[in-house]
Amino acid sequence: MNILVISQYYYPEQFRINDICKELVKRGHKVTVLTGIPNYPEGKFFKGYGFTKKRKEVIDGVNVIRIPIIPRRKNQIMLSLNYLSFVISGFFWSKFTRKKFDKVFIYAVSPMFQALPGVWYSKRKKIDCYIYVLDLWPESVQLVTKLKNKFVLKIINKIVDYIYKNCKRIFTSSESFVKNIYNRGHDKNKLFFWPQYAEEFYIPLDKGKYMKDEMNSKRFKIVFAGNIGYAQGLDILIDTAEILKKENAQVIFYLIGDGRAKEELQKKVIEKKLQDYIKFIDRQPAEKIPEYYANTDMAFITLKKNLISDEILPAKLQSYFACGVPILGSADGEIKQVIEKSKAGFCVESGDANKLANQIKECMKLSKDDLKKLGINSRNFYKENYEKQKLLNILEKEMELRKDEENVQK
């Protein structure tokens, strides 16, 4: 099949759509990605990219077309212009391109509006359009912008329903999303839970072979790797570290990555004199992250409590499972349910620093064998539920990318 993928974010930006596209090419499909000029999460164009630089390239066999967008910077006005510019550029591309495709696949992280060029193209060419929903709208935009205007929200809801209505299949990254979209009035037969997987380099590694100088502390180590944004709610670690510091608990948090909330967190760490408890490591290539997991005792996941946090299942969780690392969570809803089901770790209520501190103290009492068992459970849960090739087989089948079941199994 000749597949058009719509994703505002693509390599060198680190999203799982990079691997999905590469794998579809390996399976014999021709893949073209319509995306923007890379600027996430820093908010400025990556080095070597711009309005006149690298607008077309081939990455791992994937044809990449970059349409003009305004960089997101680090304020709400620029972020809104960033979202809008992709839709406007995508509109003109969808109306005037002469390129022909068999299917459209939309990778729908925020903003949901990025799906519109794919819908417009599919309607113009009368081909099937599929969407993979990883972020709910308008709930997400309400959280980020504090938007309360009923008229504007009504318009956003109409656009979201227009997108869903014009997709043949709606894949979701969490089971809760299925219920949410169904409750909006959409056909349940169109909805399909397709969990995220982790790339193949996320595997358990021998700690002895990958010692990290940045993590040479002898304390109990807890690692978070990924976007350090406001939605993650990592400020809970400030309060938690203060509690643990008063009790002289020998624990340390390593936060690996960048994001809009990082600078503010760093300032709080200095103000509260928590440098011995919270350390920051610059964003690393995704392929290097398993080496950091090999040096930790537990991996941390958290989400700030809000109206959709119960329904989200972040890709970070699959990465932790794939690397066979014990998991510590401060979250509710589906994240908490999955961690408890996996028997790979522990999860306390989101936003409760006291409960988190108490749980950490309990985890510090675990023996090496206890932690090892949690890690084994973590890896086994991944293989049973999120194995990459199984999930890609399912995607091909549900998108009718193969004409017969035998080819799907291959």
pLDDT of residue 244: 97
pLDDT single digits (tens) 363-380: 999 999 999 999 999 999
pLDDT single digits (tens) 278-322: 999 999 998 999 999 999 999 999 988 876 778 888 889 999 999
CATH class as words, domain 207-385: alpha beta
Residue 385 φ/ψ region, left for φ over 0, alpha for ψ in the -120 to 50 degree band, beta for the rest: alpha
pLDDT of residue 307: 66
Task: Give the span between the Cα atoms of 251 and 245, in whole angstroms.
Answer: 9
Q: What percent of the chain has pLDDT over 70?
A: 97
Establish how many alpha carbons lie within 13 A of residue 382's alpha carbon, considering only the half-sphere containing its beta carbon. 29
CATH architecture of 2-197+387-409: 3-Layer(aba) Sandwich (3.40)
Contact between 102 and 30 under an 8 Å Cβ cutoff? The reply is no
pLDDT of residue 407: 46
- Mean pLDDT calculated for residue range 233-251: 95
- Mean pLDDT calculated for residue range 100-117: 96
pLDDT single digits (tens) 141-166: 777 677 788 898 899 999 999 999 99
Same fold, 2-197+387-409 and 207-385: yes
pLDDT single digits (tens) 384-403: 999 999 999 999 999 998 66
Q: How confident is the model at residue 34 (pLDDT cuts 50, 70, 90)?
A: very high
pLDDT single digits (tens) 51-65: 999 999 999 999 999
Domain map (residue ranges) of the chain: 2-197+387-409, 207-385
CA dihedral 303, 141, 185, 401 (to 10 degrees): -80
Task: Give the span between the Cα atoms of 174 and 176, in whole angstroms.
Answer: 5
The gap from C-alpha 58 to its chain's centroid, in whole angstroms, comes to 24
